[in-house]
Structure 1
Amino acid sequence: MTTGDKVVGGVSHVVLGIWSIIVILPMLWTLFTSFKTTREIFASPFSLPEEWNLDNYVNAWSKYNFGQMFLNTIIVVSVSLVLVMLLGAMCAYVLARFNLPGSRAIYYLMLAGLTFPVFLAIVPLFFILQSMGLLNTLPGLILTYVAFALPFTVFFLFSFFKSLPYEIQEAAYIDGASEWRTFFQVMLPMAKPGLAAVAILNFLGLWNQFLLPVALNTDQAQYVLSQGMAAFASAAGYEVDFGALFAAVIITIAPVLVVYVFFQRQLQGSVTQGTSK
């Protein structure tokens, strides 16, 4: 390594170390604070809890209905993720592997969907869901999530399917496989790294989605975690149970952290491969 390489490497490590501290310390403070009472939080915000117990988590889960919101979020995100991965993979496969009339136009329209600000579609989406009878319902939110994540999914998987060898597809045809069997049993398993990466990114995006549920899901019985957090924080001003609030924050972000920690290697190994073409 040259002197310049060493300097760049050292500066990069220092910057990454500072960034890690900026990210990790607030998360640790939130975790420790979630075990404190509201009195402790205001009396000594940076000290450790006087007593370690799960009362705040119990209150957040049952008293403030975060258990139901957690279940709603799991249902909406899991169903949306399955649908968007299935539809996105099928759409990307057809656009990448077949020269159909208008396929390029459809692909570019999908790319245009990535540049369209979501907040501009809120009013049309509101009236569309209202006319379909799906406003303030979990199925309506699932349908919206799928439409929201589909352009990114198609864009990302397009490169993976485009890079797969055509000889394998032709060999499947020669063996008598139908289009459906070729896709599900031959081509789809070969795109597994891309599917894993897109699934993780979609999960993170859908779990943290805030604008769509706030605008299209105003029934408190159907709340998801992101809008439940906002409603809880602004409900009573200084009378908020801050201990339960911090516990609710941990409940909200814990699944995201768990998913990322377990699948980060798959994500890091797939992003470069999927965007290299």
Structure 2
Amino acid sequence: MKANGISPLARLLSGLLLAFWTVCCVYPLLFSILESFKDNQQVYSGKAWDLPKLPLLWSNFSYTWEKYHFGSYFVNTIIVTTGSLILALILTATTSYVLARYAFKGSSLLYYLYISAMTIPTLMLIVPMFFLFDALHVSNSFTGLILLYSISAMPMGMFMLVGFFKSLPHELEESAVIDGASLYGVFFKIMLPLAAPGLVTVSIVNALSFWNEYQYALVLISDALKYTLPVGLGVMQGEMQYRIEFGPLFAGLLISTIPILIVYIIFQRKINEGIVAGAVK
């Protein structure tokens, strides 16, 4: 007998598929946690899933934080991610609102041009962006990364937010204007709060992307003091040359991964609510 139109076999297969996918996602994280508390002798002498010997080598984390400058990389990543989030949210929300609420000649074409940018591979843009930002004198700076991240996040953000703004009743704007609200007041005091679920979803998705971005940061940043965590992790592995220190390397990986993972876990429900609300609207 089917439940909610889904056969028991389909439910079983879906559950098995989700369980398999969960194992594939959790496996690297658990493996990294175990390896981060080992020294090279334990790594080479034992099996991959052997538990680390006591006492746990918490010193791997402090060693990575200090010797490989992960403290600086961590601060740099927070600066770039926070700045990019704020700017991306301002650009995406204002542009989405205008395209959703104001009909003008070419608005649909402009919207689809923005959305079509999602189809362009990142690798195709690295070289042109490098020369463009060098000509603008914003390469090798946090400003350049923040501008690039913010602009690159607009297509996906607009794809999610335009639907939110289109679904809001026009009577709200008309009533606010009659009460004396300016266009800016209507947007910031009425429309923007109503689109909060979509804004939260876009912000969290962008935060995940900005925090983990590697290619642009690698090409545009040449000063070692301005590296972000993904680039710093790659530099760390390169500096080890012929003798890889697995414990500190996995410790650095966890330092890069755990903060954004915690953020995702905390706001996971908000992400789902925002996506569902946008789909319903």
Q: TM-score range by the shorter chain?
A: over 0.9
Q: Is 1:242 matched with 2:246?
A: yes
Partner of 1:14: 16
Within 5 A, what are the aligned runs for 1:117-156?
Answer: 117-156=121-160
**CA contact 1:66–1:228 (8 Å) conserved in 2:** yes
What is the CA–CA distance in structure 1 between the aligned matches of 2:280 and 2:120, rounded to whole Å?
24
Letter in 2 for 1:28: L
Partner of 2:164: 160
Please, what is the CA RMSD of the aligned residues? 1.5
Partner amino acid, structure 1, of 2:59: D
> What is the CA–CA distance in structure 2 between the aligned matches of 1:2 and 1:154, rounded to whole Å?
39
1:87-98 correspondence to structure 2 within 5 Å: 87-98=91-102
- Residues 1:112 and 2:116 aligned together: yes
Aligned to 1:47: 50
> Distance in 1 between the 2:168 and 2:44 partners?
58
Is there any run of 5+ residues in structure 1 with no aligned partner, and where? none
* Partner of residue 174, structure 1: 178
TM-score, normalised relative to structure 1: 0.96
Q: Note if contact 1:156-1:275 (Cα within 8 Å) is conserved in structure 2.
A: no
Matches within 5 A, 1:246-261: 246-261=250-265
**CA offsets 1:188-226 (integer angstroms, 9 cap, x no match):** 000000001111111111111111111111221110011
Please say if residues 134 and 140 of structure 1, whose CA atoms lie closer than 8 Å, have aligned partners that are also in contact. yes
Number of residue equivalences: 277
Aligned match of 1:223: 227
Q: How far does the alpha carbon of each residue in 1:45-85 deviate from its partner, in whole angstroms, 9 at most, with x for none?
A: 32111121310100111111011001100000110001001
**What does residue 2 of structure 2 align with?**
2
Runs of 4+ with deviation above 3 angstroms: none
Alpha-carbon distance between aligned partners in 2 of 1:148 and 1:190, rounded to the nearest angstrom: 25
Q: CA offsets per residue over residues 123-171 of structure 1, 9 Å max, x none?
A: 2111111112111111111111111111111121111101111111111
Instruction: Give SS of 1:47's match.
Output: coil
How far the C-alpha of 1:100 sits from its partner, in A, is 2.3
2:26 alignment partner in structure 1: 24
Identity among equivalent pairs (%): 38
State the Cα distance separating 1:43 from its structure 2 match: 1.4
Instruction: Return the alpha-carbon distance in structure 1 between the equivalents of residues 210 and 154 of structure 2.
Output: 12
Return the offset for 1:39.
1.6
Once the two structures are TM-superposed, the CA of residue 240 in structure 1 deviates from its matched residue by 2.3
Where in structure 2 are there 5+ consecutive unaligned residues?
A: none
Q: 1:107 & 1:22 partners in 2: Cα distance?
A: 37
Letter in 1 for 2:105: P
3-state DSSP class of the match of 2:7? helix
TM-aligned CA deviation for residue 276 of structure 1 = 4.7
Matches of 2:204 and 2:253 in 1, distance apart?
21
The question of whether the paired residues in 2 share the 8 Å contact of 1:136 and 1:216 is answered with yes
Which residue pairs with 1:57 in the alignment?
61
**8 A contact 1:225–1:252 mirrored in 2:** yes
- Secondary structure in structure 2 of the residue aligned to 1:239: coil
Q: Is residue 33 from structure 1 mapped to residue 38 from structure 2 by the alignment?
A: no
Provide the C-alpha distance between the structure 2 equivalents of 1:23 and 1:105, rounded to a whole number of angstroms: 39
TM-score, normalised to structure 2's length? 0.94
